[in-house]
Amino acid sequence: MKLGTKIQLYTTVMIVIVVICINLFVYFVYQKVSLDSEVTQLESRGINIMKELQNTSDTDVNTEAVLQSYLLSDGYITVVNQKNKSVVQISTDVKYKNLAESYKNEQYKKVVEKSGNHFAMVSLPIIWKNGEVSNLQIFENIDFKYETFSILKWILIVSTIIILIVIFLLNRIITQIILKPINELIEQMNKTRETKHYSKIDINDNDTKELKELSNTFNEMMLNLKDHDEKQQAFILNASHELKTPITVMNSYSEMLKRFGKTRPDLLDEGIDTINEEAKRLKYLTEQMLDLAKIERTFHDIELSKVDIIEQVSSLTKKLSQVYQRKINIYTTENSLAGKINKDSFNQLMTIFLDNAYKYSQSEIDLELTDKVQYIEIIIKDYGPGIVEEDIEKIFTRFYRVDKARSRQSGGSGLGLSIAKELASKNQIDIQVKSEEGVGSEFILKVRKV
């Protein structure tokens, strides 16, 4: 079901239920109030008759005259004794016979229906002339009231139908007004989908707040998709370019060995060594790519725990300085520094920075660990060639290398710092770079404290 139809249906049904309830309430309250007032008036009339009867002489003529004088324009007055016999009957119409209610020992009033007519009636106990306690019963025809009720009923029914039609039509117009911009938005979105371009949709000043939010979210989503798509394409392009070089080298050397390998043994060693080198490089490259993909995919909900950063860094540098055969100095004034990290990914992250410091410099590597109250600061300092300022923000881009030849020589892939950036964000670590050409580089990590 369309949203517009749904809104129209629900609001119409709800309003109709409310209108019907209000009309029923009006009808029944009006009926009760007007019948009550009629019966109460009759009761006070009855009390007056009772008083009058007590003041008159006891002759039948006098009694009837009093009752006659109190007779209503359309009604009936009777006195019923304890044997339920009407001792006096005075009526305005001959058809009002035997309307009397049976004798009761109490005063009461009500509305009764007798032979197709509605009467308001009141019954009052009186002491009749013979000293017997009897009931003075007064009946007033109130059919005119019921005619009013019937007119009111029809007025309410017709007004309900008119309200229903008006509401239905109004709802239709209102839903169309509300849904018009949404439908336009859907149309724009469909157009964007059909053109297969990540185009943004226009936001008008007079759009509603929700519509603006919806358009903004859609535009942001488009931007993200575009960004993601571009990154993906750039990655594929760069990756195939990176993989192409070692494959081309391996291919040409294997061709050369195929042709001259048997006759020129001097080329054999060079060929095998080069193929072996390039195969290693290929392996390293694919491993780095897999690493990056894995981190992006699986490290979403990485678990961080309390770890002593000094202990963690010390044990890692101990191993690495043996592998590099290079001295790694740790400078800190603290005995321990509790940080919130994931041990494995933190080690991987530190290894990338230490690997780079080792690759791009020849001298010792310095590590500084400081308690900065808000966070723990780790500085990885090398005294290598440094990085020029305009390159600093680019080095975290995938496959970006400042000096391609040197990086290739040192076995770099251009993916190390991209992986480091991902790992740092999963560990909620901030990275800063300070570098001066010819002096060295500093990679500063801000680790969350526990």
Contacting residues for 60 by C-beta, under 8 A, at least 6 apart: none
Instruction: Please pick, from the candidates 414, 426, 427, 447, the single residue that binds ligand ADP as defined by CB under 6 A.
Output: 414
Q: Which is nearer to ligand ADP, 6 or 394 (CB)?
A: 394
- Could you give the angle at the alpha carbon of 325 between the alpha carbons of 323 and 331, nearest 5°? 95
| 1-40 positions binding ligand ADP, by CB under 6 A | none
Contact between residue 58 and residue 129 where contact means Cβ atoms under 8 Å apart: yes
Instruction: Please pick, from the candidates 175, 412, 422, 445, the single residue that binds ligand ADP as defined by CB under 6 A.
Output: 412
Q: Which is nearer to ligand ADP, 146 or 400 (CB)?
A: 400
| 367-406 positions binding ligand ADP, by CB under 6 A | 382, 384-385, 387, 395, 400-403
Structural Rg of the chain based on CA atoms? 51
Tell me 17's DSSP state: H
Q: Which is nearer to ligand ADP, 145 or 401 (CB)?
A: 401
Q: Which is nearer to ligand ADP, 75 or 384 (CB)?
A: 384
> Residue 411 Cβ, how far from ligand ADP at the closest point, in Å?
8
> Residue 312 Cβ, how far from ligand ADP at the closest point, in Å?
21
> Residue 199 Cβ, how far from ligand ADP at the closest point, in Å?
34
Instruction: Please pick, from the candidates 141, 416, 429, 445, the single residue that binds ligand ADP as defined by CB under 6 A.
Output: 416
User: Of 388, 380, 389, which is closest to residue 358 (Cα–Cα)?
Assistant: 380
CA–CA distance, 427 with 341 (Å, rounded to integer):
6
| 169-208 positions binding ligand ADP, by CB under 6 A | none
Burial of 205 (0-12, 13-18, 19+ CB in 10 A): exposed
Q: What is the b/e burial string over 392-424, where b = at least 16 CB atoms within 10 angstroms of the residue's CB?
A: beebbebbbbbeeeebbeeebbbbbbbbbbbbb
Q: Which is nearer to ligand ADP, 187 or 430 (CB)?
A: 430
CA–CA distance, 127 with 163 (Å, rounded to integer):
57
Contact between residue 369 and residue 263 where contact means Cβ atoms under 8 Å apart: no
CA–CA distance, 328 with 314 (Å, rounded to integer):
10
> Residue 281 Cβ, how far from ligand ADP at the closest point, in Å?
11
Q: Which is nearer to ligand ADP, 43 or 422 (CB)?
A: 422
Is 441 a residue that touches ligand ADP (CB under 6 A)? yes
Q: Which is nearer to ligand ADP, 147 or 437 (CB)?
A: 437
In 207-268, at which residue ranges do the beta strands (DSSP E only) sit? none
Q: Which is nearer to ligand ADP, 191 or 406 (CB)?
A: 406
CA–CA distance, 167 with 15 (Å, rounded to integer):
8
- Calculate the alpha carbon distances from 333 to 157, 330, 368 in Å: 90, 10, 9
- Number of residues counted as binding ligand ADP (CB under 6 A): 20
> Residue 419 Cβ, how far from ligand ADP at the closest point, in Å?
8
Q: Which is nearer to ligand ADP, 382 or 422 (CB)?
A: 382
CA–CA distance, 24 with 20 (Å, rounded to integer):
6
> Residue 288 Cβ, how far from ligand ADP at the closest point, in Å?
8
| 417-436 positions binding ligand ADP, by CB under 6 A | 417
> Residue 393 Cβ, how far from ligand ADP at the closest point, in Å?
11
DSSP 3-state assignment of 353? Answer: helix
Contact between residue 340 and residue 304 where contact means Cβ atoms under 8 Å apart: yes
Amino acid identity of residue 115, one-letter, is S
Q: Which is nearer to ligand ADP, 339 or 414 (CB)?
A: 414
Stretch that binds ligand ADP, among 101-109, 189-197, 267-275, 407-415 (CB under 6 A): 407-415
| 310-369 positions binding ligand ADP, by CB under 6 A | 356-357, 360
Q: Which is nearer to ligand ADP, 345 or 407 (CB)?
A: 407
User: Of 288, 352, 286, which is closest to residue 320 (Cα–Cα)?
Assistant: 352
Output the six-digit token pair for 44: 């006070």
> Residue 387 Cβ, how far from ligand ADP at the closest point, in Å?
5
Stretch that binds ligand ADP, among 86-94, 223-231, 239-247, 410-418 (CB under 6 A): 410-418
Stretch that binds ligand ADP, among 89-97, 108-116, 313-321, 414-422 (CB under 6 A): 414-422
Contact between residue 289 and residue 418 where contact means Cβ atoms under 8 Å apart: no
Contact between residue 239 and residue 289 where contact means Cβ atoms under 8 Å apart: yes
Contact between residue 60 and residue 139 where contact means Cβ atoms under 8 Å apart: no
Q: Which residues bind ligand ADP (CB under 6 A)?
A: 356-357, 360, 382, 384-385, 387, 395, 400-403, 407, 412-417, 441
